[in-house]
Structure 1
Amino acid sequence: MDKITEKIKVRPENSHSPGIQVRSILFVSAPYQLPGLKADIHPSPWKITYAVSMEEAAALLGKADFNLVFIEMQTLDHKTEITIQHLKGLCPGLPVILLAPPGHCKNRSLERDADHIFIWSGTPEVFHAMVRFIEDQRCKDTTRRAVLLVEDSLEYASFFLPAVYKGIDTAFPGARPPRLVLAGSHETAMARFRELGNRLECVLSDTRLPWQGREASGAGIDILSTIHREMPELPIMLMSAESANKTRAESIPAPFLDKNAKHLGPNLHEFFRSLTANRPVGGRNTLPKDPYPVQTCPAGFTRIGNGSIGGKARGLAFLAQTLNRRPDLVAVYSEMTVNIPDSLILCTDIFEDFVRDNGLARFTGRPLADLVQAFIDAPLTGEVLGHLQTYLAGTCAPLAVRSSSLLEDAVTHPCAGLYKTYMIPNNHADPDLRLSHLATAVKLVYASAYYKNARAFIRSTTTHPFRDSMAVMIQETAGSRHGDFFYPAISGTAHSLNFYPAANAKADEGVLNLALGLGHTLAQGEQSFRVFPKHPQATPQFSGTRDFLEKTQNRFYALRMTGYPETLCFGICSNLERRDLSQALNEAPVKTLASTYMPLEDRIRDTWYCRGPKVITFAQVLKYGAPPLTALVNDLMTALAHAAGGPIELEFTADLPDRSGGPWKISLLQVRPMSSPRDTSLITRADLDEAVCVSTSALGNGTLDTIRDIIYVNPEVFEGGKTPDMAQQISRINAELAKTNRRFLLAGPGRWGSSDPWLGIPVDWQQISGAGAIVEIRDGTIHADASWGSHFFNTITAHGVPYITVNSGTCDRIDLENLAGCRTVRDEGFIRHMRLNRPLLIKIDGKHSRGVIIDAGKADNDIQDQ
C-alpha cells in the first residue's frame, strides 16, 4: 500500500469551487463489463476513462484529473489492497459512487466509504441521472430551486432517480431546472427542508424511515404534516409499499403513491405533470418525440435507440473487443475463418415505448395465448418499421431475432434461456411479407419478457421495483442451405470450467458440447456429444458401441426455407423443424460428421462411405482435426477467460466450406460469464459415513441446512411415458409450498428440465421455483447424459441451487425413503411430498465436485438410542 501511495500525487480539494460540472469520469469495473458499458453510453458527453482493478484506478488518479468515480461492486470482490477510502484519500473531495447489481446489494456498510451507492443494471438513463445527481449535490448556488426526495431504500432511490429527473424536466422546462436533493432519514429531511425553505418546488417522501436511530413507521407522515402546516401551498406526495398508508396520506392531506403499483414510473410522472397545471410550459409537452438515434458502436454493431443494448449484446461487445486485441488467436488457423455475425440492436427504450404506448403491461398474468396475441396485434411505430425495412434491404439471409434483456448473461443473473429467440427464412418474394415476419418476431421476443417463467425468475433474484427490460438483437443466421432446410453443420457450447471432469481431464480444461444442426438442441438439453477439448478423442460417456448407438444424436433442428405458411409457424420452436437423422443422410453435414456402425464387426468406422446405420460422432473434427476446431476453442476459451477475469461460456457454430478445400466458417454467437465456486465446503469422513446421499458429481458450493421438504419421484410406480404428468404433479406441490415460502429437495431419475420427456422430467423453472437443491439420479431408469449446458441447467445454477448427480455403479448412493422423522404430506401417484422434523444438512464441495446429504434427524435418534 505504501509503495503505491508513494507513486501517486495527492491533490488538495478546491474548497473555493461553487460546485462541479462533471466532465471527466473514472469507471472501475470487471473486464467483462467494460465493452458493453462503452456501447451502452456511446456516444458520451463526458470523457470516460476505464480501469479494470482498484490498483489501476489508484494509478490513474495520480495521472489525470477526474470529477467523479464509479466503482462496480464486483470489482471489490477480488483481493485488493486498495479500498474506496484509500482512493478518496488520494483525491479529497472527489465523489465516489458504488454500483451494485439488482438484488445483490447486501453490504450497506460500504455506504460509509462511498459517497453514494446505487443499484444499476446498465441502463444509460440511470447512468446519466447519477452524474446529474452528483452535479446537483455539489451545487453551491444558493438561489437554485430544488426538489426534495426522502427515501432510504437503495432499490427505490435508484429507481426514482431517473424517474424524478424526467418529471423535473417535464414540469420545469428550461436551462436551469430545479436540482434534486436526496434525504434518507427524518432528521436529514427536516434539515434539508429548513435549509431550502421557499426554494423548494415539491417534496416526495417515503412513509417508513429511520428516525432517532430506529425505523419509524410514521416518519414520513410527520415530515409531510409539518411541511404542510408551515407551507400549505407546497406540493407534497406520500409514498409507501403499504397500501393501508393511503388513508394516512389523506389525513395530511397529500396524494399517495403506491410503491407496489405496476405503473410506478408513470404514476410518479403524473404527479409532476400535475405541477404544470397552473404554470405555462412553453409548449414543451406538445413537441413531437425525438427520433431514435442510429449509432455504430465501438464493438462494430449498429444500435437503434437511446436505451441499453442488454446483457447478451454486452457479451458480444466483450467478444469483439477480445478478438480485436488478439488477432493472433485466429491467424494461425488457416483451415478456418472466424467471425462475429453483424448485428442490429433495438435498444431497451424501444421496448419500453412499445409496451407503454400499446398498454401491454396490463396483460401481465393473463393466459399465454392472450398475452402473445396482444403483443402480435400491437403495432410497431412507423419509425421502427422503417429501420427494419432498411435493414432487410441489405440482406436476404435467414435471420435470428434474439433477446438481450438487461439481466441476460450478467455475471450475477445469467438467466439463460428465459427469453425467446425466433428464426425467420427471410426469403419471400414479397418484401412486405418479409418485413411482417421480422416485425412479428421482434414483438414475440418482447412478449417473452412477460412470460410467467421470466417474471418468476426476476421476482426471485431481484427486488421490487426493478423490472427487467428487453433489447432485441437481429443477426444473420450462421449456416448453409441443404435442400429445403438451412442449418450449420455444428453448433457448440464451450465452458472454460468443467464441474464434471472425467478420464484424464481436469476441471480448468473445460468441456465442450457439440450438436448437428441449430443450437436449439443444446439449449433444450437434448442429446448432444460431450467432449473435453484438451482430450478430444476421449469419450468417457460411451463405454462401447451400444452406447454410441443409443446415446448419440439422432434428431436435429433446421430452419425450413420453403413451403412455410405466410404467417410462419411462431410456435414453441418458431419456424424450426426437428428432423430425424434418417431424413438427412445424403446432406453434406451428415456425410462429413457421421460414422457407420458395422453390425458384423460390432464396431464403428469413422466414415460415412460404407453400408450400415449412421452415427453422429464428429470423428473428422475430433479425431482427425479436420479442421482443428478443438484447438481453436481451447485458445478462445483461454483468451476470453483471461480477459473476463473468470470462467466463461462460449456459443458458436462451425459450417462446411463453400468450396472444396476452402476454410470452415466459424461464427462466434455469444459469450457469458460462468459462476465459479469460491469457498469450499469441507466434507469429512464422518459426513460420508452418515450421509443418506453421496455424490462425486455435485455442482455448487457451500452448506445448506434449512430444507425439511422433499419432492421425490416414486421409483416403484415410475413410467417413462408419464413424465409430463409427473411435471404437472410437481408443479402443483411447488405452488402449494410457494405460498409459505418453503424450499424443498427435488429428486428423481434422468434429466431435469429435459424437453424430451423420454430423457427426464420435462419441468420448467416456474414449476420447480421453490427447489433449494436438486438430485439427478442416473440408475438406468432413464438412459440420458446429465443436462449440462442446457438453458434450464444454467438457470438452476444461476439461482445457486446445488445440483447433485448420483451415478449408479460408482461409490455414489442415495436413500431418501428411510429418513428419520419423515412423514408423507401428499402423494400424487408418481410424485411423493415428504416432510422431516429436522432440516437436512446438504454440503457441496465445489472444488472437488463432491456432495453429501445428511439426515440430521437420524443423528438425534442415534443420540437417544445411546
Structure 2
Amino acid sequence: MEASARQQHAPGKGPRMQGFENLMPYRVREVLLVSSLYDSFTFQEDGQASDPLLSDYAELNLRYAPRVKRVSTGAEALEELNEHGRYDLILVTPQLGAVSAVEFAEEVRSEFGAIPMVLLGYDAASIDALLACTDCNPFDHTCVWNGDSRLMLATIKLIEDQANFAHDSARVGVQAVLLVEDSVNFLSIYLPILFTEMMAQSQHVITEGANLAHKLLRLRARPKVILAKDLETAHKLFEEHHENLLGVISDASFPATPAGKPIDDSGFQFVRTVKEKYPDMPVLVQSSESKNRDWAEALEASFLDKKTPRLHRAIRRFMLDNFGFGPFVFRAPDGSEVGIAEDTHEMEEVVRNLPVESLLYHAVRNEFSLWLRARTEFQLAERIANRRVSDFANAEELRDFLLAELLEARRESQRGAIADFDRRHFDNTASISRIGHGSLGGKARGLAFLNYMLSMYRIGDTHENVRITVPPAVVITTDQFDRFLIENNISIETVSGIDDQAVRDVFAKASLPRNLVEDLRAYLKVVRKPIAVRSSSLLEDSHNQPFAGIYETLMLPNERADINERLRALCHAVKLVYASTYSERACTYID
C-alpha cells in the first residue's frame, strides 16, 4: 500500500494538486518590441523595456518574466524574426518609419503565421485611423498607453490566458472571468485592474499551500481572463465555458460579429442569455449611457457608469464582493544572532560594524554571495564569490572589500534609473527618486529620459572638464495625488463654481497622506538647498496635447534651521501645485 501510494504521487504533491503541473502549457517567454527608443522609454519610464515587466512579475511573485528585445523599425523586426526564429509576442507602436504598422503586421502574418501581435498606441483616434486603411485588422489586440505600467503585464497574461484556458479548465476546472468589451480605451483600463486583482487573489490562495511545490502549482491555477469583442464570440465562449466562469463583465453595446458595427442592444441580448441559463452568475454591465441601468437591474445584473471617476475602485469592489526568501541573519560561530538585514542597504550597514568572527563565519561559507543571488544581484554575487577569505591580508580588508562592492552595486543600480524613495536609506545618491507607484507625468519622465541617455551613452565622459547632469529630483507620483483627493473628499463637485483663490484655500486646508509627509521629512533631512516644486502632469509633454506651463511652479528657499518649518512650507507648496490642476486656466485648457 505504501509503495503504491508513493508511485502514484510525486514528492511534494498530493492528490488535490495532481494535474496542476501540466497547467499553463503556453507561456510568453520572448517578446519583440517594435518601437522608437523614446516610445520604449515612455512605456516603462527608465529606458529598459523589460524593467516594468520584471518589476511587476517580482511584485506579484510571478516567475518566468519574459525577455524583451527592442528594434526600431519594421525592417529590423523582420530581419530579427528571420535570423532568430519565432517570438511569442510582438508589440508594435504606430510609428515605424517607412513601413506602416499595418503593412508590417500583414507581412508578419504572411511570412510567420499566427504570432500574437498587439498594437500599442497613445490614443484611440490615431489607432482607428491607422486601422481604417485595411479591410482585415492584422492585430490580435489593440491597446492605448495610459501611463499604467501594468498594461504590458496584463496584455501578456491575457494572451497566455486565451491560449491556456480551454486546456486548464478541462484539466482541473480552472475558473475565468469573461470580459466583453470592444472599446480600446476602456479595455486598456480594465485589463490592468482585472489582472491586478487576479494576482492579488492568487497571493491569498498560495498562503494555504502546504509547501513550496503547492504554492507554485497554485499560481498556475489562478483564475484567468477571457475576452470577447463581439456578440458572436461572447455567446461562443459562454456556451463553451459557462461551467468554469466566475462571472461576466460586459459592455452594453458592441458589434454582433467580429467585422460588424456596434449595436445598441447587444449587451442586453448577451446578459439576458447568461441570466436565463445561470440566474446566480455575477454580471457587471458597464456603460457610458445611464439609460442602460434599467434593463441591467431588471435582469438582476450590477451596473457601472463608465464615466464615474471611481471606475477603478468600483470594478475592484465588484470583483471582491462577487468573485469570491527572507532577511540575512548574521550569526556568531556559536549560532547566536548578531544582526539582520532585510536588503542590501541594510547589509551594508550591518557589515560595517559586524564582529570579525561573524564576518569570517559567513564569508568562508560563501553565504554572502548565496543570499545575493537569491535577490537577483547576480553580478555582485559573482564578484564576491570569486574572492576567497585567504585573498585578503586580514578581516578588515575583507570588510572594506564587501562594503565597497555593496556601495558600488547600489550606485550602479541607480545610475540612469528611477529609484523608489526609501525614507530609511535616502541619501540623495540617486539622480531621480519616486514617492509612490503611479505615473511620473510628462515633465519628470522627460528629465528621467535625459538622465537615462546621459548614463547610457556616457556623453559627459567624452569631453574633458565637462560635466553634464540632470538636477537631482524626487517625484511624487500620481497615485499620491489620487490618495490626497480621496482622503480629503475633494472632487470636481467640491471645487466647481468657485474661483482659483478659493480652490487654493480648499487644498491648503487639506492634509497630505501621512506616508507622504514622512517621506518629505526624510527628504528634508538630507536636502538643505533651495527647492523648486513643480507639476508633472500626465498630459505634459504628451504626443498630441502638450500641457507644459499650465500648472504652478513654486520656489522654496529651504533655509530655516527648524525642519518642521521647512516641512510645513514644502507640504503647503505641494498642495498649491495640486490645487492648480483645478484652476480655471487648467480646466479651460482641457476643454
TM-score, length basis structure 1: 0.46
Among 89, 95, 106, the residue aligned to 1:85 = 106
CA contact (8 A) 2:94 2:100 kept: no
> 2:49 matched to 1:32?
no
Query: What does 1:5-20 correspond to in 2, within 5 Å?
Result: 19-20=25-26
**CA 1:326–1:315 in structure 2 vs 1: closer, same or farther (change >3 Å)?**
same
Which letter does structure 1 place at the counterpart of 2:143? F
> 2:221 matched to 1:200?
no
Give unpaired runs (5+ residues) of structure 1.
1-15, 280-292, 461-866
Q: Secondary structure of the equivalent of 1:155?
A: helix
Query: What does 1:235-250 correspond to in 2, within 5 Å?
Result: 235-250=282-297
Which letter does structure 2 place at the counterpart of 1:192? L
Among 522, 537, 542, the residue aligned to 1:410 = 542
Offset, 1:127? 2.5
Q: Which residue of 1 aligns with 2:479?
A: 349
Deviations 1:102-131 (A, max 9, x none): 353323447711110011133212232222
Deviations 1:219-256 (A, max 9, x none): 11111111111101101122221111211222222221
Q: C-alpha separation between the residues in 2 aligned to 1:210 and 1:384? A: 46
Q: Which residue of 2 aligns with 1:259?
A: 306
Offset, 1:331? 5.0
Q: Which residue of 2 aligns with 1:148?
A: 178
Which letter does structure 2 place at the counterpart of 1:275? N
Offset, 1:382? 3.0
CA contact (8 A) 1:398 1:427 kept: yes
Deviates more, 1:160-169 or 1:324-333: 324-333
Q: Which residue of 1 aligns with 2:389?
A: none
Which letter does structure 1 place at the counterpart of 2:476? L
Q: C-alpha separation between the residues in 1 aligned to 2:509 and 2:277? A: 52
More helix by share: 2
CA contact (8 A) 2:480 2:513 kept: no
Query: What does 1:730-745 correspond to in 2, within 5 Å?
Result: none
Q: Which residue of 1 aligns with 2:150?
A: 125
Which letter does structure 2 place at the counterpart of 1:27? L
> 2:416 matched to 1:298?
yes
Q: Which residue of 1 aligns with 2:71?
A: 51
Offset, 1:54? 2.0
Which letter does structure 1 place at the counterpart of 2:256? W
Among 143, 165, 170, the residue aligned to 2:195 = 165
Deviations 1:816-848 (A, max 9, x none): xxxxxxxxxxxxxxxxxxxxxxxxxxxxxxxxx
Give unpaired runs (5+ residues) of structure 2.
1-21, 58-64, 206-218, 325-344, 346-409, 418-430
Q: Which residue of 2 aligns with 1:315?
A: 446
Q: Secondary structure of the equivalent of 1:412?
A: coil
Report percent identity of matched pairs: 31
CA contact (8 A) 1:29 1:50 kept: yes
**CA 1:442–1:381 in structure 2 vs 1: closer, same or farther (change >3 Å)?**
same
**CA 1:352–1:88 in structure 2 vs 1: closer, same or farther (change >3 Å)?**
farther
Q: Which residue of 2 aligns with 1:102?
A: 123
Q: C-alpha separation between the residues in 2 aligned to 1:450 and 1:134? A: 39
Q: Secondary structure of the equivalent of 1:360?
A: coil
**CA 1:364–1:27 in structure 2 vs 1: closer, same or farther (change >3 Å)?**
farther
Which letter does structure 2 place at the counterpart of 1:133? L
Q: C-alpha separation between the residues in 2 aligned to 1:297 and 1:87? A: 37
Offset, 1:80? 8.3
CA contact (8 A) 1:376 1:444 kept: yes
CA contact (8 A) 1:311 1:409 kept: yes
CA contact (8 A) 1:28 1:70 kept: yes
Q: C-alpha separation between the residues in 2 aligned to 1:308 and 1:339? A: 23
> 2:488 matched to 1:358?
yes
Q: C-alpha separation between the residues in 2 aligned to 1:94 and 1:74? A: 20
Which letter does structure 1 place at the counterpart of 2:487? D
Offset, 1:457? 4.2
Q: C-alpha separation between the residues in 1 aligned to 2:442 and 2:148? A: 11
**CA 1:260–1:456 in structure 2 vs 1: closer, same or farther (change >3 Å)?**
farther
**CA 1:65–1:420 in structure 2 vs 1: closer, same or farther (change >3 Å)?**
farther
> 2:162 matched to 1:137?
yes
**CA 1:298–1:375 in structure 2 vs 1: closer, same or farther (change >3 Å)?**
same
Q: C-alpha separation between the residues in 1 aligned to 2:468 and 2:41? A: 20
CA contact (8 A) 1:124 1:306 kept: no
- Across the two proteins, how many residue pairs are aligned to each other? 428
Q: C-alpha separation between the residues in 2 aligned to 1:225 and 1:35? A: 45
CA contact (8 A) 2:181 2:227 kept: yes
Which letter does structure 2 place at the counterpart of 1:95? P
> 2:141 matched to 1:116?
yes
Q: Secondary structure of the equivalent of 1:410?
A: coil
Q: C-alpha separation between the residues in 1 aligned to 2:434 and 2:294? A: 47
Which letter does structure 1 place at the counterpart of 2:29? R
Deviations 1:754-799 (A, max 9, x none): xxxxxxxxxxxxxxxxxxxxxxxxxxxxxxxxxxxxxxxxxxxxxx
Q: Which residue of 1 aligns with 2:348?
A: none
Q: Which residue of 1 aligns with 2:390?
A: none
**CA 1:453–1:148 in structure 2 vs 1: closer, same or farther (change >3 Å)?**
farther
Q: C-alpha separation between the residues in 2 aligned to 1:304 and 1:199? A: 41
**CA 1:308–1:49 in structure 2 vs 1: closer, same or farther (change >3 Å)?**
farther
CA contact (8 A) 1:221 1:238 kept: no
Q: Which residue of 1 aligns with 2:401?
A: none
Q: C-alpha separation between the residues in 1 aligned to 2:231 and 2:296? A: 17
Q: C-alpha separation between the residues in 2 aligned to 1:393 and 1:53? A: 47
Among 505, 522, 537, the residue aligned to 1:373 = 505
Which letter does structure 1 place at the counterpart of 2:240? E
Q: Secondary structure of the equivalent of 2:70?
A: strand
CA contact (8 A) 1:68 1:95 kept: yes
Deviations 1:327-381 (A, max 9, x none): 56785585x6432111222222222333333332353535234433333333233
**CA 1:121–1:457 in structure 2 vs 1: closer, same or farther (change >3 Å)?**
farther
Q: Secondary structure of the equivalent of 2:36?
A: coil
Q: Which residue of 2 aligns with 1:209?
A: 254
**CA 1:339–1:146 in structure 2 vs 1: closer, same or farther (change >3 Å)?**
same
Query: What does 1:219-234 correspond to in 2, within 5 Å?
Result: 219-234=266-281
Q: Secondary structure of the equivalent of 1:118?
A: strand
Q: Secondary structure of the equivalent of 1:204?
A: strand
Which letter does structure 1 place at the counterpart of 2:548? A
**CA 1:25–1:311 in structure 2 vs 1: closer, same or farther (change >3 Å)?**
farther
Offset, 1:430? 1.0
